[in-house]
């Protein structure tokens, strides 16, 4: 029987030759990832709820942007964009705390319901024919406030719905692909409705998509508990104690990011990308007029072009989900957000603009999907929404900054040099970070002992990030034939999982049973805080993986007591 390290090398991934991407390989891996997600009914419902909500969101955003440009020009678009982003940035940490304190399902239902009410009120106001734009600005801004907590709760829910890290990566890639479809379908639908109907009709569509999203979320069967529920999947490193101060909880996400150099680097990368994203909310309107030669409504066409690219990027991300090159792919995505803009600045033609936006659109899911998976793999479930909330605050703030900077830049230097000013620093940041992001990939590589952890009943309930942490905490112990691994009556200091070989379990000199690879022992004395109840001796060259007392008890402390006791009771007469 191979040692776990050998198994890990075999399972680590395909050979270099097989990693060469072909169209057939991309399609096969994309299909495999999609099938993985579709088979999980709860993941499927959450994905459909997300894309339904986003289609309405993007259609609504297109309509409101065009309406704002018609009312007040580029300055009005910049002001509205900055106001929505600034309000969301300020409230995101508070909303994330709430998302970690109520069930994920409740957080999604409440935020969707509130957004539906606000957008519905804006539609009703426009139907009256009133001229004052400020009520629409305020209602649209308030609706934007609840967009970030919706995404934070949705992303934090995913690890509880996925069965393993690869399924989690596939689910995130599927989310990215569906979001890419929404980026294409939403603006196109919004633009079409503006041609045949009016802005209130588009807003009414958004309300309907929120309602459908709520119906799908309500049907999700599992994973809806609070992050701090003692039976939740947070495991070691759980939520703050009930006595934690409010400010401490509010800042928990920022503290987690600040203490981890890799998370800080990832945050800096995506902040650079979102700065350009915020600027694009303004310069796309100008490019539609000056380069395409359309009116402001042409921004819907450009958004649709971005969506086409995003679909391509989403499919590529799905195909790469099993390769787990998260850091390198994220940095490449940020780089591709900036370089095409320099090409447009050099050759401002409709063809160059369309090609550049396809590339930028393709880069978007590459950044988003890898960002989500990195955060989900590196943070405990109990504080995950707050980490996403902290990151969203930073990203929204840089988006707002980008939109605010772009408006005066357009006046001072024109659209071509404005693109250069925002794109060059972002390209430099992405290029310089590539080596460090590749090192992050090494950190995120699934540990070889992970399959052993996933075979233990109560460890299966843990979030993927916690399972990986436990797998990295395992220590290899080799034993020759006749070696005693556990002695009856000794103090209990570790839990064991057999990687290879066979052992014999005895109690008071009586042979109880033999155990082999994937089996485990030592949990009874740890859970019940008693001396070892049996002895375990190796029958042949054996490798076991040992988990220390503290790590084991921390992992099972949040599991349903009935499960741990049931397994322990069924084995009490056989194992120590």
Choose one of 414, 444, 474: the last residue of a domain: 444
- d(Cα 532, Cα 575) in Å, to the nearest integer? 9
DSSP 236: S
Q: What is the CA radius of gyration of the chain?
A: 26
Same domain membership, residue 272 and residue 195: yes
- Domain containing 528 equals 450-571
Based on the structure, what is the number of domains in the chain?
Answer: 2
Cα distances from 572 to residues 94, 460, 527, 576, in angstroms, run 47, 21, 11, 7
Q: Which residue has the tokens 């191979």?
A: 2
The residues, any chain, with a CB within 8 Å of residue 48's CB and separated by 6 or more, are 178, 216
> Coil, helix or strand for 520?
strand
Are 170 and 320 in contact by the 8 Å Cβ rule? The answer is: no
Q: How many CB atoms lie within 10 A of CB 42?
A: 18
Q: Which two tokens stand for residue 494?
A: 């570790």
Helix (H) or strand (E) holding 477: strand 475-479
- Is 507 a member of any domain? yes
Q: Which residues of the chain have pLDDT under 50?
A: 1-21, 226-243, 558-563, 573-576
Looking at the structure, tell me whether residues 421 and 461 fall in a common domain.
no
Domain check: are 545 and 409 in the same one? no
In a domain, 472, yes or no: yes
Contact 334, 272 (CB under 8 A): yes
Residues 561, 426 within the same domain: no
Do residues 80 and 64 touch, judged by C-beta distance below 8 A?
yes
Same domain, 420 and 358: yes
- Domain with residue 250: its CATH number is 1.20.1250.20
Q: Is residue 225 part of a domain?
A: no
Which of 382, 413, 444 terminates a domain? The answer is 444
DSSP 282-327: HHHHHHHHHTS---GGGHHHHHHHHHHHHHHHHHHHHHTGGG--HH
Place of tokens 């843990």: 462
> 352 lies in a domain?
yes
Statement to judge: residues 331 and 414 lie in one domain: yes
DSSP string, 58-82: HHHHHHHHHHHHHHHHHHHHHHHHH
Tell me: do 470 and 430 sit in the same domain.
Answer: no
Tokens representing residue 107 in the block = 């957080």
Determine, yes or no, domain membership for 238. no
C-alpha angle with apex 146: 84 to 225, nearest 5 degrees? 155
Residues 467 and 431 in one domain: no
What pLDDT does 485 receive? 93
Domain identity same for 371 and 304: yes
Residues whose CB falls within 8 Å of the CB of residue 533, separated by 6 or more in sequence, listed in order: 488, 507, 524, 525, 572, 575, 576
Q: Are residues 437 and 500 in the same domain?
A: no
For residue 301, which of 250, 357, 232 has the smallest C-alpha distance?
Answer: 357
Q: Which of 391, 420, 444 represents a domain boundary (last residue)?
A: 444
Q: In this structure, is residue 236 part of a structural domain?
A: no
On whether residue 295 sits in a domain, the answer given is yes
Provide the whole-model pTM.
0.62
- Which pLDDT score is estimated for 498? 92
Q: Return d(Cα 339, Cα 310) in angstroms, integer.
A: 16
The pLDDT score that the predictor gives to residue 566 is 52
* 427 part of a folded domain: yes
Give the pLDDT confidence score for residue 95 in this predicted structure: 73
- Tokens matching residue 547: 């988990």
Q: Are residues 164 and 266 in the same domain?
A: yes
398 and 521 in one domain? no
Between 165-196 and 199-218, two packed helices, what is the crossing angle to 10 degrees? Answer: 150
């Amino acid at each position: 029987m191979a040692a776990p390290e050998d198994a890990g090398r075999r399972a680590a991934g395909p050979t270099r030759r097989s990693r060469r991407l072909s169209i057939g390989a991309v399609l096969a891996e994309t299909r495999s990832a999609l099938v993985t997600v579709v088979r999980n009914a709860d993941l499927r419902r959450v994905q459909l709820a997300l894309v339904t909500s986003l289609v309405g969101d993007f259609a609504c955003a297109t309509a409101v942007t065009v309406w704002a440009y018609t009312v007040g020009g580029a300055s009005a678009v910049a002001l509205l964009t900055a106001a929505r982003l600034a309000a969301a940035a300020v409230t995101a940490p508070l909303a994330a705390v709430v998302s970690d304190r109520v069930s994920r399902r409740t957080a999604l239902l409440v935020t969707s319901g509130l957004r539906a009410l606000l957008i519905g009120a804006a539609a009703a106001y426009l139907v009256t024919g009133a001229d004052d734009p400020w009520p629409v600005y305020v209602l649209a801004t308030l609706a934007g406030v609840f967009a970030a907590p919706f995404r934070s709760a949705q992303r934090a829910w995913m690890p509880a719905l996925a069965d393993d890290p690869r399924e989690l990566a596939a689910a995130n890639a599927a989310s990215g692909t569906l979001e890419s479809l929404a980026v294409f379908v939403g603006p196109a639908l919004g633009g079409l409705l503006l041609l045949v109907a009016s802005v209130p009709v588009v807003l009414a569509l958004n309300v309907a998509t929120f309602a459908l999203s709520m119906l799908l979320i309500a049907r999700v069967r599992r994973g809806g508990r609070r992050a701090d529920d003692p039976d939740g999947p947070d495991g070691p490193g759980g939520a703050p104690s009930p006595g934690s101060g409010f400010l401490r909880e509010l800042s928990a996400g920022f503290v987690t990011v600040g203490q981890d150099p890799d998370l800080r680097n990832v945050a800096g990368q995506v902040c650079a990308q979102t700065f350009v994203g915020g600027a694009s909310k303004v310069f796309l309107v100008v490019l539609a007029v000056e380069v395409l030669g359309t009116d402001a409504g042409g921004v819907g066409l450009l958004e649709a072009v971005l969506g086409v690219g995003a679909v391509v990027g989403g499919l590529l991300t799905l195909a790469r989900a099993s390769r787990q090159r998260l850091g390198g792919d994220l940095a490449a995505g940020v780089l591709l957000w900036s370089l095409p803009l320099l090409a447009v600045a050099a050759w401002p033609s409709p063809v160059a603009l369309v090609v550049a936006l396809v590339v930028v659109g393709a880069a978007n899911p590459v950044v988003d999907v890898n960002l989500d998976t990195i955060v989900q793999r590196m943070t405990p479930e109990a504080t995950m929404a707050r980490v996403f909330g902290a990151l969203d605050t930073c990203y929204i703030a840089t988006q707002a900054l980008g939109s605010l900077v772009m408006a005066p830049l357009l006046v001072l230097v024109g659209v071509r040099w404005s693109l250069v000013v925002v794109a060059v620093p972002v390209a430099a940041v992405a290029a310089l970070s590539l080596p460090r992001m590749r090192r992050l990939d090494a950190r995120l590589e699934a540990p070889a002992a992970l399959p052993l952890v996933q075979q233990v009943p109560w460890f299966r309930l843990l979030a993927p990030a916690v399972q990986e942490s436990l797998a990295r905490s395992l220590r290899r112990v080799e034993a020759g034939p006749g070696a005693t691994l556990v002695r009856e009556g000794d103090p209990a200091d570790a839990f064991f999982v057999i990687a290879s070989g066979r052992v014999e379990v005895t109690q008071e000199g009586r042979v109880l049973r033999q155990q082999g690879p994937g089996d485990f022992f030592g949990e009874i004395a740890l859970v019940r805080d008693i001396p070892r109840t049996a002895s375990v001796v190796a029958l042949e060259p054996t490798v076991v993986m040992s988990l220390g007392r503290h790590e084991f008890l921390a992992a099972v402390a949040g599991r349903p007591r009935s499960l741990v006791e049931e397994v322990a009771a069924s084995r009490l007469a056989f194992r120590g």
